[in-house]
Amino acid sequence: MASLVKRTSNFFMTPAPAPLVFGSIQIWPEDRQLAVKGVPHRPGARAFDLLLLLVENRDRVVSKAEIFERIWSGLVVEENNLSVQVSTLRKLLGPDVLATFSGRGYRFMVGPMDSATPNGEPPAALAMPDKPSIAVLPFLHMASDTTREYFTDGITEDITTELSRFRALLVISRQSSFTYKGRSVDVRTVARELGVQYVVEGSVRITARKLRVTAQLIDATSAEHVWAEKYDGEIEELFDIQDDIVGRISVALAQGVESHEFHSLRQRPADWGAYEIAVHAYQLASDAYMRADPVLRGQALLRAQEALALDPNSTPALRAKIIVLWQTLFLSTTQDRAGTLNEAFEALDRLEAIDANDAKVYTYRGLLLHEAGQNERALAASQKAHQLNPNDTGALSALGMVELLGDRSAEAVEHLSQARRLSPLDPGPGSPTRCWPTRTSA
């Protein structure tokens, strides 16, 4: 498990050794020790390895097959061995920390926190902003085919992205909202932890080319339903469904939202088969970044190329390709920096030609220009990204990083603080509450 420990410590890189904090649970990976409500524990090697594996992959269910391969690699053991380790961890951490998904595996269910009080209580509630605030929780994937769960996640992310275009709203980022995935949580808890008044919940059922999408807007401070709707249609009608959901939410929050702020300019896919492949590629690219995983990067790039072969103007595929290429530059895992930069800029130019007002275009351009050593141009591009979408935490974090490395510390602190407010539970390596990943091979 040495590689797991190394990846975990890189993932949560801090300037000095510090525990990973999940509510009342503190974990020191390198010391192989944990504490619950301030009481130290040193579990057995297998139990601790299992805990690290589940924490590292807390955004998904980890199958029993993967657990046996990682924890008992090369050994023939009975399934009872896993049950014993799970039971040990539940006695230490509490019965609800590790969830069992029948026939699938296990998942770590506690979201990350930046700090906790000495007695293990969560931090105080975030103050409500002076404008409507909203978080879109991960939609439930209702189909029995879990291999297409990324499609449901993509719908959630699209709705979050479209809502973030409204300057009159404060929209919590996808990174923080997705820490609630797979958890049964009271919306009032969400309101307290994220500092929002409204929460969007929903579900998606996919059968062949048919869709059923439900969505509801809840006033999380009172748990009252503001609006709810159910949509049945073809997959090709997905964007229209998403636009209707966003439009209805904006009307419901009309106290501070101008209807003219939203104009959907999204490119409709030329090939819906390519679109689904591209959504999968983008999901893999995002996961690869969160975990600094070179295997996922390779899979994401292959899927992106597959989608682009079918639809050269696939926006999610181009984004996935750019994200992967930037990661290889930032982490110094490419053998041809000049060639990788050229390939990334070619994909970026194509993305800009599709939508020159997409904030992500300028976020990516700023990051790539920084890797090319063109810091002033990188700063200008990052500033434009933030101007186009002040709710985009990726744009804010990228701007803060470029400013920080350009000796603009005051501006960097301001923008990273704004990013932290928009994503208070962000677990990623680029979170404004943590340092950026080290430039070593992943």
* Per-residue model confidence (pLDDT) at position 206: 85
- Give the type of residue at 410: A
pLDDT tens readout for residues 181-205: 877 778 888 888 888 889 999 898 8
Q: Which is nearest to 287 in space by CA: 428, 141, 127, 441?
A: 428
Using the predicted structure, report yes or no on whether residue 436 has a pLDDT greater than 50. no
Write out pLDDT tens, residues 87-127.
889 888 887 788 887 667 888 877 654 444 444 444 456 67
Q: Provide the pLDDT for residue 323.
A: 94
Whether the predicted pLDDT of 12 surpasses 70: no
Domains by residue range for the chain, with CATH: 2-108 (1.10.10.10), 133-261 (3.40.50.10610), 272-422 (1.25.40.10)
> Is residue 1 very low, low, confident or very high in pLDDT (cuts 50, 70, 90)?
very low
What six digits make up the tokens of 27?
A: 């974990």
- Rounded Cα–Cα distance for residues 71 and 69 (Å): 6
**Pairing mode of beta strands 170-171, 133-136:** parallel
Percent of the chain with pLDDT over 90: 22
Closest CA to 194 of 115, 132, 125, 139: 125
Sort strands 140-141 and 198-207 into parallel, antiparallel or unpaired: parallel
DSSP letter assigned to residue 129: P
Q: How far is residue 308 from each of residues 277, 331, 357, measured CA to CA in Å?
A: 9, 25, 21
> Percent of the chain having pLDDT more than 70?
85
DSSP SS3 for 440: coil
Q: What gap in Å lies between CA 109 and CA 116, rounded to an integer?
A: 17
Do 283 and 246 touch, CB atoms closer than 8 A? no
CA distance 224 to 326: 43
What does pTM read for this prediction? 0.64
What token pair was written down for 74? 């090369």
What pLDDT, on the 0 to 100 scale, is given for residue 260?
A: 43
Q: What is the mean pLDDT of the chain?
A: 81
- Distance in angstroms (rounded) separating the CA atoms of residues 47 and 220: 37
What's the Cα-to-Cα distance from 262 to each of 40, 43, 162, 272, 337, rounded to whole Å?
Answer: 52, 53, 8, 24, 39
**Cα–Cα distance measured from residue 43 to residue 32, given in angstroms and rounded to the nearest whole number:** 8
Distance, CA of 22 to CA of 25 (rounded, Å) = 5
pLDDT tens readout for residues 403-434: 887 778 888 889 888 888 888 876 654 454 44
pLDDT per position as a tens digit, 167-184:
878 899 888 888 888 777
Does pLDDT of 438 surpass 60?
Answer: no
pLDDT of residue 98: 86
List Cβ neighbours of 425 (8 Å cut-off, separation of 6 or more). Answer: 111, 112, 113, 175, 176, 179, 193, 194
Q: Is 27 helix (H, G, I), strand (E, B) or coil?
A: strand
For residue 81, how many other CB atoms are within 10 A of its CB?
Answer: 14
pLDDT tens, residue by residue, 307-361: 999 999 999 999 999 999 999 998 889 999 999 999 999 999 999 999 888 899 9
Task: Provide the token pair at 26.
Answer: 């503190």
Structure tokens at 17: 């050794």
Over 50: is that where the pLDDT of 144 sits? yes
C-alpha closest to that of 288 among 251, 254, 261, 326: 326
> What residues have CB less than 8 Å from 278, skipping those under 6 apart?
269, 303, 304, 307, 308, 311, 314, 315, 316, 317, 320
- Cα distances from 413 to residues 112, 417, 422, 432, in angstroms, run 22, 6, 14, 9
CB neighbour list of residue 371: distance below 8 Å, 6 or more residues apart: 326, 329, 330, 337, 341
How confident is the model at residue 342, as a pLDDT? 96
- The most confident of 71-75, 96-100, 143-147, 355-359, by mean pLDDT: 355-359
3-state secondary structure labels for all residues of 339-373:
HHHHHHHHHHHHHHHHCCCCHHHHHHHHHHHHHCC
Helices (H), ranges, 94-214: 149-163, 174-177, 187-194
Q: What is the mean pLDDT of residues 33-41?
A: 82
The pLDDT confidence band at residue 365, using thresholds 50, 70 and 90, is very high
Question: Which residue bears the tokens 């009307």?
Answer: 251
- Indicate whether 273 pLDDT > 60: yes
How open is the CA angle 126-153-98, to the nearest 5 degrees?
A: 65
Look at residue 36 and give its three-state secondary structure: strand
